Amino acid sequence: MSISAKNVMLFIDPSHSVFYDNELFKATSKWNRDGQFAPFILLKERLAEKGVSVNTADYLLDHQIAGRVNIYISFGLMTNYKKLSKQSDVSLQSFYILEPPVVVPQLYREMDSLSRCFDRVYVHNTDGIGYERYFSNQPNLRQFFWPQVQNAVIEKLWENRDRSFLMMINSNKKSRSKDHELYSERIRALVALQSLGKVDLYGHGWDVPFYKIRKTRHLSYLYWKRRKVLRSIYKGTVESKYETLARYTFAICFENMIMPGYVTEKIFDCFFVGTTPIYLGAPDIEKYVPKGCFIDMRDFSSYHELYTYLLSLSDKDISSFREAAREYLSSEQYQPFKKETFVEQFEKDLLETLRVNGVDPPKLWDISRPQYPRGGKNE
């Protein structure tokens, strides 16, 4: 006997429990900085149009809401899936591994278990590159593309011409692994560039008092060794990455780790506001972003060479980077990173899950054709 979609409930476990109580879907949330919840707000809206209710997972865990079929998706939290996998009325649809092994190695240690319990596991590359020790050719791995908030440049910020030279926005953290990590490289870059000229630093955790050294084992030895230099260029935390980035011509844009396919919001944030990123991270970055949009750190043998190059760039050269990034955001190459594409793929996965569970999909459901515009209009 088939089941009506009205008897199905969808539950999302977000990346952090502070997003529970449906905070993940609230545009007015204090956590929704620079509109980072936009992909999930759009997802909830699109599924509501099809009669599918979406809530954060605490409603299921606390037995506040439940249907005959309850579909569970996790964006990184591992505390609940094993218990839920034993419930006959819960279907584990997808698990998203957002961060690389240097940030959350425990996620990769559980990959076999995750692959057994979930229908699909989303990772940044499906070949095991960068997480070889945890890889055992799991058949249900899928590539994840980090959904972006914007579909085009933010004109008011992009047009800003009153810009300082160079900056970086990153929290100060210690890598959980030494394999291809870039936390240390950020510090080396900052120290080298500070000795050459002007560079500004923003983010959490760069001004920790020295007397707290024993209580801050999450910070690296290199940070404590270079702390005076780092504090001399530190400008504090930011309310908006977009507004802060838009005050600079260039930004150091290093991922947390060198790993194929691992392309986060960092480079795109620069594009949205007309700041040229100096990128280091995914070795296959040109597969996703054209070379003319950014400065590739791999092209330079030292930070002195990089700095000299930055100083040599004319206004016309800088404009070329900015315009290339603007054009890229309206291209097909950017399509995988759009929030609409994320929603489309989510809906396809959900439809497959519904069919497996004998659920009649809602009548309005039609994903045989593209549902969203593929142009570059900024929503």
* Measured distance CA(4)–CA(68) in Å, rounded: 9
- The pLDDT value recorded for residue 282 is 97
**Helix, coil or strand: residue 323:** helix
Query: Which of 309, 272, 279 shows the shortest CA–CA distance to 294?
Result: 279
- The pLDDT value recorded for residue 370 is 41
Tokens 């539950």 sit at which residue?
A: 11
How far separated are the first and last CA of the chain, in Å rounded? 42
* Measured distance CA(359)–CA(362) in Å, rounded: 9
In the chain, where does DSSP find H-type helix?
Answer: 38-49, 58-61, 81-84, 105-109, 111-117, 155-158, 183-196, 221-225, 227-233, 241-245, 265-273, 303-312, 315-329, 339-356
* Measured distance CA(243)–CA(369) in Å, rounded: 37
Report the topology of domain 3-147+338-360.
Rossmann fold (3.40.50)
Q: Could you say which architecture CATH assigns to the domain 155-334?
A: 3-Layer(aba) Sandwich (3.40)
Mean pLDDT by 10 residues, the chain (379 residues): 68 96 97 97 93 93 86 96 93 96 94 96 96 92 97 97 97 82 95 94 87 64 88 95 98 97 98 98 97 97 97 98 98 97 96 84 53 37
Side by side, the strands of the sheet bearing 276-280 are 200-202, 164-169, 248-254, 276-280, 295-296
Percent helix, strand and coil across the chain, each to the nearest 5: 40, 15, 45
Retrieve residue 58's tokens: 């605490």
Retrieve residue 118's tokens: 């979930």
Retrieve residue 336's tokens: 């995988």
Domain segments of the chain as ranges: 3-147+338-360, 155-334
- The pLDDT value recorded for residue 277 is 98
Contact 60, 66 (CB under 8 A): yes
φ/ψ of 116, rounded to 5, equals -75, -35
Contact 251, 279 (CB under 8 A): no
- The pLDDT value recorded for residue 302 is 97
Retrieve residue 138's tokens: 């799991």
Same fold, 3-147+338-360 and 155-334: yes
Length of the chain: 379
Retrieve residue 352's tokens: 């497959």
Question: Which pTM value belongs to this model?
Answer: 0.91
- The pLDDT value recorded for residue 373 is 37
Query: Which of 103, 157, 151, 158 shows the shortest CA–CA distance to 130?
Result: 103
Pairing state of beta strands 90-96 and 53-56?
A: unpaired
The CA angle 255-225-102, to the nearest 5 degrees, is: 30
